[in-house]
């Protein structure tokens, strides 16, 4: 084991033991200790009833928000620790939280309510394990297995379907065969799970190292909350650029993207509009004209349905919309795109294009990948040299334009836009004299026109 039990957690276990109660670390932290990964939170379970726990920590700050479910949160050196009385759960009528909980006298009953064997291991102060469901062996084998009868467990709580896929993707584990079958069979339980909770699991899953495998092995689960994926999963594309069908291409594109939620969502959805745009020419080659716009529309709908925040949704939609944009490695063009999208989105678009290429016939796209590198270098150079990209970067402003004799009003903005356009295209340099010269010229020609 590479990580030690945190001192704060140690003191809490000791305090409960000293008062005569059983107390164990449990769940994610024990699993992560056994995996050799540093735990991010330390859950504790105990035989003490909530009010007994509170009495043990009368001298500490205690947060009572979880009291109804038997949880007392104790702050130890600023770090919160959840201490939960051994309990079982009643039915999940809304698949969000149990209708009620029952406190039980022994640890094993508490472990039995937990979702997967790897999450149903307890560890005492000395490091001794209580592992009635074989979680340690499953961790060693890299297996996700339900505690108890899998179908029953997924029917109790549909979120577990997504949790199984999420843990598989994040840890690079496989889902044990019977649990996997039950995942498929009970995927419709997700209909009863709040969109926000599916969203949270999906985001973690997509940045996991096994995200591609989860998409490959469980497309039916993803289609359950995003039915729009269905036609993409079965899409064939007979096209020299594509060595795979729509779904396998999408999976490679997701895997080829950096581990960032926005980029991975963009890759998952970038071709979602292809099935609706498919046509086959006289040579039997498939085309998907106009698919980026259709993909963007569908992506917008899907991200809304899953309650993504505006910022993520808007950015993903933007990237999907432009994923196929022509982007020759010329400074003029790069300046325009930098101006249009802003640097952050522009560099994300380059990542999207790179990942999209990773999902295509590799010998065909080598040149394009090199070109993307060139574009990135040029863009970085443009930004480093602080070249003019937006109105605010122009060497003149509205006051200069008015001082040059343009009447206040919309004409001032038009002149500035005209200047920016010419600077971006390289027609005139972003220098004050050159710009003022152009304004004077514009004004004269404009007045002549007025005179006509």
115 binds ligand ATP (CB under 6 A): yes
User: Can you state the angle between helices 261-269 and 291-305, rounded to 10 degrees?
Assistant: 120
**Pairing of the two strands 101-103 and 23-26:** unpaired
Q: Between residues 180 and 404, which has the closer beta carbon with respect to ligand ATP?
A: 180
Of the ranges 62-70, 115-123, 227-235, 381-389, which one interacts with ligand ATP (CB under 6 A)?
115-123
Applying CB under 5 A, the site for Mg ion has a residue count of 2
Instruction: Give the residue closest to ligand ATP by C-beta.
Output: 28
Q: State the minimum distance, in angstroms, from the CB of residue 31 to Mg ion.
A: 9
Question: DSSP alpha helices (H): ranges in 143-225?
Answer: 150-156, 159-171, 177-185, 195-206, 211-217, 219-225
From the list 203, 120, 189, 105, the residue with the least C-alpha distance to 154 is 189
Residue 119 binds ligand ATP (CB under 6 A): yes
CA-to-CA distance for 77 and 79, rounded, in angstroms?
A: 6
Question: Does 114 engage in binding with ligand ATP (CB under 6 A)?
Answer: yes
335 contributes a contact to ligand ATP by CB under 6 A: no
Strand partners, 61: 75
Which of 128, 107, 81, 80 shows the shortest CA–CA distance to 22?
107
41-80 binders of Mg ion (CB under 5 A): 41
Tokens for 14? 């000791």
CA-nearest of 155, 101, 145 to 119 is 145
CA of residue 382 relative to chain centroid, distance: 30
Indicate which of ligand ATP, Mg ion, none lies near residue 321 (CB less than 5 to 8 Å, by partner kind): none
> Apex CA 74: angle with CA 72 and CA 75, to 5°?
155
Per DSSP, the three-state class of 358 is: helix
Which position's Cβ is nearest Mg ion?
A: 28
Query: Choosing among ligand ATP, Mg ion, none, which partner's interface includes residue 157 (Cβ < 5 to 8 Å by kind)?
Result: ligand ATP
Per CB under 6 A, does 157 bind ligand ATP?
yes
Per rule CB under 6 A, is residue 270 in the interface with ligand ATP?
no
160 binds ligand ATP (CB under 6 A): yes
Residue 99 near which of ligand ATP, Mg ion, none (CB within 5-8 Å, type-dependent): none
User: Whole-angstrom Cα distance, residue 343 to residue 29?
Assistant: 40
Distance CA 247, CA 258 (A): 19
C-beta closer to ligand ATP: residue 189 or 352: 189
- DSSP reduced 3-state for 122: strand
Residues 3-42: x/- map of binding to Mg ion (CB under 5 A)?
A: -------------------------x------------x-
* Residue nearer to Mg ion on the CB measure, 28 or 231: 28
160 binds, among Mg ion, ligand ATP, none (CB under 5 to 8 A by kind): ligand ATP
- Residue 198 and residue 223: Cα distance in Å, rounded? 12
SS3 3: coil
Q: Which is nearer to Mg ion, 80 or 172 (CB)?
A: 80
Per rule CB under 6 A, count of chain residues that contact ligand ATP: 11
Near ligand ATP in 4-43, by CB under 6 A: 27-28, 43
Q: How far apart are CA 391 and CA 324, in angstroms?
A: 27
Tokens describing residue 423:
């600077």
Place of tokens 């979120």: 159
Considering the complex, state which of residue 31 and residue 291 has its C-beta at the smaller distance from Mg ion.
31
| Residue 342 touching ligand ATP (CB under 6 A) | no
Query: From the CB of 44, what's the least distance to Mg ion, in Å?
Result: 12
Please identify, using beta-carbon distances, which residue of 27 and 150 lies nearer to Mg ion.
27
Q: Which residues of the shown chain bind ligand ATP in the complex (CB under 6 A)?
A: 27-28, 43, 114-115, 119-120, 157, 159-160, 163
Q: Which residues bind Mg ion (CB under 5 A)?
A: 28, 41
């Amino acid at each position: 084991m590479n990580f030690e039990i945190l001192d704060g957690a140690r003191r809490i276990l000791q305090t409960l033991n000293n008062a005569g109660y059983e107390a164990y670390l449990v769940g994610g932290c024990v699993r992560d200790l056994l995996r050799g990964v540093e735990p991010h939170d330390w859950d504790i379970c105990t035989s003490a009833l909530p009010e007994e726990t509170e009495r043990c920590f009368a001298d500490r700050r205690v947060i009572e928000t979880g009291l109804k479910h038997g949880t007392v949160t104790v702050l130890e050196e600023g770090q919160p620790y959840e201490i939960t009385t051994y309990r079982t759960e009643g039915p999940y009528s809304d698949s969000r939280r149990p209708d009620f909980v029952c406190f039980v006298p022994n640890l094993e009953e508490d472990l039995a309510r937990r979702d997967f064997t790897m999450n149903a291991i307890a560890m005492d102060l000395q490091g001794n394990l209580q592992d009635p469901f074989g979680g340690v062996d499953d961790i060693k084998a890299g297996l996700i297995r339900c505690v108890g009868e899998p179908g029953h467990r997924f029917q109790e709580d549909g979120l577990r379907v997504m949790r199984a896929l999420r843990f598989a993707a994040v840890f690079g584990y496989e889902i044990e065969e019977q649990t996997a079958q039950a995942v498929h069979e009970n995927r419709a339980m997700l209909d009863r799970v709040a969109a926000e909770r599916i969203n949270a699991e999906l985001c973690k899953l997509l940045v996991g190292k096994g995200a591609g495998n989860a998409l490959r092995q469980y497309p039916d689960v993803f289609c359950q909350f995003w039915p729009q994926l269905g036609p993409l999963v079965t899409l064939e594309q007979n096209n020299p650029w594509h060595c795979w069908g729509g779904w396998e291409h999408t999976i490679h594109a997701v895997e080829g993207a950096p581990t960032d939620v926005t980029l991975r969502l963009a890759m998952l959805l970038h071709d979602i509009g292809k099935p609706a745009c498919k046509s086959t020419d006289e040579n039997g080659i498939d085309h998907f004209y106009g698919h980026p716009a259709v993909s963007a529309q569908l992506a917008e709908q899907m991200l809304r349905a899953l309650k993504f925040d505006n910022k993520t949704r808007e950015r993903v939609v933007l990237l999907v919309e432009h994923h196929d944009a022509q982007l020759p490695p010329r400074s003029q063009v790069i300046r325009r795109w930098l101006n249009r999208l802003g640097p952050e989105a522009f560099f994300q678009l380059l990542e999207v294009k790179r990942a999209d290429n990773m999902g295509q016939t590799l010998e065909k796209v080598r040149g394009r990948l090199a070109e993307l590198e060139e574009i990135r270098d040029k863009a970085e150079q443009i930004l480093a040299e602080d070249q003019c990209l937006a109105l605010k970067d122009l060497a003149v402003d509205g006051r200069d334009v008015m001082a040059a004799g343009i009447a206040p009003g919309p004409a001032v903005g038009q002149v500035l836009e005209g200047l920016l356009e010419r600077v971006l295209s390289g027609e005139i340099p972003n220098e004050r004299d050159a710009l003022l010269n152009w304004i004077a010229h514009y004004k004269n020609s404009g007045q002549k026109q007025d005179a006509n």
